Structure 1
Amino acid sequence: MAIALIVLAAGQGTRMNSDLPKVLHEVGAAPLVGHALAAGRALDPERVIVVAGHGAEQVTKAVAGLDPDAQTVLQEEQLGTGHAVAQALPALDGFEGRVIVLYGDTPFIRPETLEALAEARADVTVLGFEAEDPGRYGRLIADGSALERIVEFKDARDKERAISLCNSGVIACDAALLAELVAGLGNDNAAGEYYLTDIVAAARAKGLSAEVVTCDEAETLGINTRAELARAEALFQSRMRAEAMENGVTMVDPETVYFALDTYIGRDVVIGPNVVFGPGVTIESGARIEAFCHLTGCHISRGGTIGPFARLRPGAELAEDVHIGNFVEVKNAILGEGVKVGHLTYLGDAEIGEGTNIGAGTVTCNYDGVMKHRTVIGANAFIGSDTMLVAPVTIGDNALTGSGSVITEDVPSGAVAIERTKQVVKPGLAVKLFERLRAEKAKRMKKGS
């Protein structure tokens, strides 16, 4: 059956006390709405519609970056979840299949749970959970898995508030039926809003079926405050660490390793303490990441060794058996097989051939204040320590640069390039200079007193 997703992301998030729309606050280096989109994408949906409201321009831009195929629609007035879904329905025109309504501030629903919703046979299916503390959640009035109605906390009687089976807000329904039921919603309730949850009672009144699919309460965790955001981050990291170790990753001190939503790590990778993964990191099997590294937007191939204290930035592509040592930064650079970059080096906008050794203190000078330029180094070259490579420049295969050189012109394959001024030695001059400076210092101190 074809699947479409509606992701509700229009709320202001007043309790976050922020200028940023709530769904754009991050967990695992990804906006909250990105987690909902990622979970939903596991169903291979035919259409994805995100309903934006507060900060709609920011949300639309973020969604486009997260999922270019998603469509964003505007809910100008926030009149309830039913009203929000109504704004999305025109974007489903012509769609025939099942619609799942998700929430942009609920990041932990698992793809397996959404699959269960997609496969449910009832006309309307609601995702519920047994709450340890039901609090102000809406209650599901059910007989087994058969659902009678949903009662919002504000409208519930004491007997209904004693029920622990609660509503997550996530609903699955046939597209045509959803449109029919939403069109009939009213707002005669304590909040004066159009509740999406009222479609359950409306469906039952038509003699249609409704049922509950349940999940663990942790999957339904919504984010409304900074404290809840922090708890969500801790929960996310705990899950990612456990999943990584289950998949064959070794972590010396798991509690100090931080993952992003899309981090991919192969088996038999070893990760040292205090390592941070930003978005877009892929590490192939058998690599080793030493302590205090920060990696974002990079690809490390099999057998790579990184760090300690290394920084890999977006566009860093490392072939097999590349070594990146301490205090090395790599950005938008391709390093061939077996390249060694030991320490204290910056490689930006560069291409480096296999087997090349980059000496300590080397810098690819890639920015002229206006534009970026590229450095190309061939295979099996040797770049001496403290070499400044002023891009655009090309160093050929098997070439060598002398330590302390500033290379501004291309170096042919097999050549040696040395750029230094002649060393001048003046015996005794250092002693005279220091005596003069000390005398000047003493004179200034006496004058100041």
Structure 2
Amino acid sequence: MKSSTPKVLHLISGKAMLFHSIDVAKEISEDITIILHHQADLIRKKIDANYENIKYHIQDVEQFSGTGGALKGLTLNSDRVLILNGDMPLITKESLELLIDSKNDINMSVITLKDSSGYGRVIIKDDKVLEIIEEKDCTDNQKLTKTVNAGIYSVKKELLDKYIPNLNNNNAQKEYYLTDIIKMAVDDNKSVNPIYVEEKEFKGVNSKLDLSDAETIMQNRIKANLMRNGVSMRLADTIYIDIRASFSGECFLENGVTILGDSQIINSNIKTNSVIEDGYIENSDIGPMARVRPNSIIKDTHIGNFVEIKKSTLNGVKAGHLSYIGDSSIDEGTNIGAGVITCNYDGKDKHKTIIGKNVFVGSDSQLVAPLIIEDDVLIGAGSTITRDVKSGNLAISRTPMKIVKGFFYKFFKKGK
């Protein structure tokens, strides 16, 4: 991946690719073991922050490298073991069920490709797998095989207990191959069944290009599911939606919209090129070209173009254009004029602005926090408000306008 971030922690639609695999695995079983080596402590820390009751096994790579070496010394509890890869974020429960439902000794996923280069070849005869040969160990004739190993297996525990200790590294890579158990099983007259799967679902991620391809597939899946469940989208291919986001009621997303994090959108219209980050939006319209930053709650509110909301609660508010509202609480009936800024940061700390009901804040005003503006207040346009304002009052802070007669002609030395 050419990155300091562990491959399995790269994000796809807002979630680490390993977590996609864990989520699907948990739909199958609660008995989950993660095998780790490279940056194991970091990966384990991330997993433990998001999941409970995950077991771990650390691979002894110095002595037992390779996919088969990963299972050396691993204690297995269940009668049947499903072996997944942490870099396959697109697998689904339905496909895994195909692998675990059959009563064969081993079920393995296979894909038929036009170009099979780069994959281990699967030799099949009479609908049974005879052998898997890693590409570097293939003869020229074997490289012509189009059926390849998709990398996921369902194996009886008793076979793993027997075969894993007998794996060796007598191959071009000097690694212990998990794929060698297939030949061992065949030699023991065990049944090895190929399960044909779709490439796009069993796609591994080994580069930033693969990551981008997987992101596209996941996004299409997320958006198709949302549209089937009633979310309207204009030019869906231009929209990005985090897998953690949720929608309910009648929602409409216009082109270029980005929904990030655990955002909740309820009966709302998110307009062109707007961004929602971990926000709660209900019965509101946002944008176009607006940004709602984390920890904001917006209800029954109109947010117009070029408005940024950060860590604020707005209930029944209108903020039509060109405003920044940060660390604020604003109540119903209040209008925020164009160019209004809540000055929430003094260089050291963030401070809160509280605005009551039915407040009119004139254009180009600066509200310097900490500040409380009570109900039924007028703020004159162009004001800098530095003190609390009581209910029913007008607050205005402007330098008196001065007119210098004839100054234009004097300045440019033009007569009239």
The aligned runs of 1:236-315 (5 Å cut-off) are 236-266=218-248, 268-284=250-266, 286-301=267-282, 303-315=283-295
Two-structure CA RMSD over aligned residues (Å): 3.3
Query: Cα distance 1:386–1:167, how it changes in 2: closer, same or farther (>3 A)?
Result: same
Q: What are the Cα deviations for residues 308-349 of structure 1, in whole angstroms up to 9, with x where unaligned? A: 011112212222x3221100111222222x322211111222
Given that residues 385 and 397 in structure 2 are in contact (C-alpha distance below 8 angstroms), is that contact kept between their aligned partners in structure 1? Answer: no
d(CA) in 2 for partners of 1:283, 1:107: 25
Q: CA deviation at 1:97?
A: 6.0
Q: Which amino acid in structure 2 is aligned with residue 36 of structure 1?
A: S
Given that residues 125 and 213 in structure 1 are in contact (C-alpha distance below 8 angstroms), is that contact kept between their aligned partners in structure 2? Answer: yes
Match of 1:364 in 2: 342
The aligned runs of 1:430-441 (5 Å cut-off) are 430-431=407-408, 434-435=411-412
Q: What are the Cα deviations for residues 122-179 of structure 1, in whole angstroms up to 9, with x where unaligned? A: 4433222222322232233445664444322233445644443321111234567645
Matched, 1:198 2:160: no
Query: Cα distance 1:30–1:416, how it changes in 2: closer, same or farther (>3 A)?
Result: same
Q: CA deviation at 1:423?
A: 1.0
Match of 2:216 in 1: 234
Q: CA deviation at 1:367?
A: 1.9
d(CA) in 2 for partners of 1:433, 1:181: 98
The aligned runs of 1:349-388 (5 Å cut-off) are 349-388=327-366
Query: Cα distance 1:283–1:161, how it changes in 2: closer, same or farther (>3 A)?
Result: same
Given that residues 297 and 315 in structure 1 are in contact (C-alpha distance below 8 angstroms), is that contact kept between their aligned partners in structure 2? Answer: yes
Q: Which amino acid in structure 2 is aligned with residue 288 of structure 1?
A: N
- Residue identity over aligned pairs, in percent, reads 35
Q: CA deviation at 1:363?
A: 2.0
d(CA) in 1 for partners of 2:243, 2:349: 32
Q: CA deviation at 1:283?
A: 1.9
d(CA) in 2 for partners of 1:81, 1:382: 66
The aligned runs of 1:31-110 (5 Å cut-off) are 31-43=16-28, 45-49=30-34, 51-53=36-38, 55-56=39-40, 59-60=43-44, 62-64=46-48, 67=51, 70=54, 74-75=58-59, 77=61, 79-86=65-72, 89=74, 95-96=77-78, 98-110=80-92
Q: Which amino acid in structure 2 is aligned with residue 269 of structure 1?
A: C
Q: CA deviation at 1:214?
A: 2.8
Q: CA deviation at 1:220?
A: 1.6
d(CA) in 2 for partners of 1:273, 1:41: 34
Query: Cα distance 1:378–1:153, how it changes in 2: closer, same or farther (>3 A)?
Result: same
Q: Which amino acid in structure 1 is aligned with residue 262 of structure 2?
A: G
Which TM-score applies when normalising by structure 1?
A: 0.79
Which TM-score applies when normalising by structure 2?
A: 0.84
Q: CA deviation at 1:291?
A: 1.0
Q: Which amino acid in structure 2 is aligned with residue 391 of structure 1?
A: A
d(CA) in 2 for partners of 1:97, 1:379: 64
Which ranges of structure 1 fall in alignment gaps of 5 or more residues?
Answer: 1-15, 439-449
d(CA) in 2 for partners of 1:434, 1:423: 22
Q: CA deviation at 1:222?
A: 1.8
| Bigger fraction of residues in helix | 1
Given that residues 52 and 59 in structure 1 are in contact (C-alpha distance below 8 angstroms), is that contact kept between their aligned partners in structure 2? Answer: no
Q: How many residues align?
A: 412
Q: Which amino acid in structure 2 is aligned with residue 33 of structure 1?
A: L
d(CA) in 2 for partners of 1:399, 1:71: 59
SS at match of 1:218: coil
Match of 1:5 in 2: none
Q: CA deviation at 1:70?
A: 4.8
Matched, 1:170 2:152: yes
Match of 1:335 in 2: 314
